[in-house]
Amino acid sequence: MSNHFTSRGWLGPTGTKPLSRHQQTRALICETAIAHLIIHRQATMSDIAIAAGVGRATLYRYFLSR
């Protein structure tokens, strides 16, 4: 159930409806966090924010804790 980026933008798991900007950002953070935490198990929220290319405030808006 992965999201995919196409010329029309991010598509949801069904591949039919483009995701909203909020959903795109959340998906990006989730995918980046998973990939980063596999390699760096002790990563902080700041580390994940940097890896995802978002600010800490943005990360905490979507997720209150690790």
Q: Which domains does the chain have, with CATH numbers?
A: 20-66 (1.10.10)
* Separation in Å, CA 14 to CA 5, 6, 9, 11: 13, 13, 14, 8
Please give the model's pTM, rounded to 2 decimal places: 0.70
**Tens of pLDDT along 4-63?**
656 556 666 665 677 888 989 999 999 999 999 999 999 999 999 999 999 999 999 999
Rg value, the chain, Cα: 13
Please answer whether residues 19 and 12 qualify as being in contact, where contact means their C-beta atoms are separated by less than 8 angstroms. yes
DSSP state string for 32-57: HHHHHHHH-TT--HHHHHHHHT--HH
